[in-house]
Structure 1
Amino acid sequence: MSDASSVVSVIDDLRREGEELDRLVEALDEGQWALATPAEGWTVAHQIAHLAWTDRSSLLAVTDQAAFEHEVTKALAEPGDFVDNGAREGARKPPAELLADWRSGRAALDAALRAAPPGARFPWYGPPMATASMATARLMETWAHGLDVAEALGVTPEPTDRLRHIARLGVRTRDFAFGVHGQPVPFEEFRVELVSPSGEVWTYGPEDADDRVTGTALDFCLLVTQRAHRADLALRAEGPDADRWLDIAQAFAGPPGAGREPREHQGTKDADR
């Protein structure tokens, strides 16, 4: 697959991921928009508002870098709060208005990413991002926050091979995960072998690597987006560095995420309430 085809492929999959979540929320009543999700303090409305806010930030990064730099300055003035503030602001809107905002932002970002010139790189809150990287990051967030929405609604989404983009990002962010946790970055590459939803095996890294991770692509993506605790996933690590990685993996930018409690611990907490 050529570089251009690869970029189009991830943008197409980002659009499909957004459409799938859209179908899940389009018919919700006001009470369902207010349902709590696994993210503490966030309702379904907060989840969609966060996606809408991040899509708008991405659109600025792609189309108006001066305006985006202004947003970065605002973020630096309120470290740790600007993401939550964006979600809270959007969640206060009537559901129909929030949904319309998210849809228009998705459409505008889709068009902007497709129009980006080859080799373009865009500023971000971390390192600059290429077009494919920007689309992959948006797909990852759409999928991960969509899982939170689905859990609040008692729905179990069917995994698709769109996870290949998230799995690849999870592998590529290995060194970042070690660094952000203040741990030494392993010198050698790992071997990662993941069974996709369609049954294909996705492989990364040298076949003869001493450290290995094996399991399903779904479990790996749940781990690197911190949507499930390692104890609840059927991932196998061989080698001490690979084992450490599965405790700290994160594919998203920013400080170390808090992650999710094991299901057994969640049940204990619920029983104590």
Structure 2
Amino acid sequence: MPTNDPDSQLDSLLRALEASPEAAGVFYPRQVPKIPQGGATDYDIPVAPGVTVGARWHLADPKNPTVLAFHGNGETVPDYDDIAEMWRDIGLNLFIVDYRGYGWSGGRPTLRSLHDDPAKVADFFERELAEKSRAAGLDRPPAPLLFGRSLGSSPASRIASERGHAYRALILESGFSDVRHLLALFQIELGDLRDEAHRRFSNPELLKRVEIPVLTLHGAHDSLLPPFHARENHAAVPHEKKELRLINGAGHNDILLFAPAYFGAIRDFLQRS
């Protein structure tokens, strides 16, 4: 029976997505063992009874801000061991998080977990950040940042829309805009629930509630998620503390080959915001 109750509508949407065989094809989980990395701390973050997701904190200097980061599809936490050094070079620590079923995480990835888990991850991260800062003798932690690449643009935008006051800025890289484009790409049929999926999962719908500064980075030659996604996300941010940077020559999965332009854009943005 149709209902206007938001919680019931959300539950109906998530049930429909879980029942869709095509929806499982959205995710490309890759399992890897937990192998400690020198100079980093590993975590198992509880997200459901008996289920944890893996995370790794590359904390070079507790006096510097930390980036709470959500990676792209098919990637895992250890993929960012070398990338963390690039963040360190612009004065930032990196706290990178896996999804269910990725890396050494338990469970399996679903659109329900992509919707529900970010708040639990943020709770855990903010507690750890406060504890590490106290241990370092700081009165308060440096304001952290949010980062989401590709699939990770969704949890990063969700946290920024719901608790952005706790973060200095949001950085979206190679993110999608209207989720209905993805539903069509993966041939996921939702019928009357397509608009509810748009309202709950489309990044512009989340970004229109974001008050902190937003940097949108995208490869100018991204063929998987063409640059119109970046332009739509940028346009949705309701204030002027925002920047859109298209990286010339870059596609979707080779954008870090243009690291000087990529990290230069981040450094310059943070200096101005």
Report the structure, 1 or 2, having the larger helix content: 1
Report the structure, 1 or 2, having the larger strand content: 2
Question: TM-score, normalised to structure 1's length?
Answer: 0.30
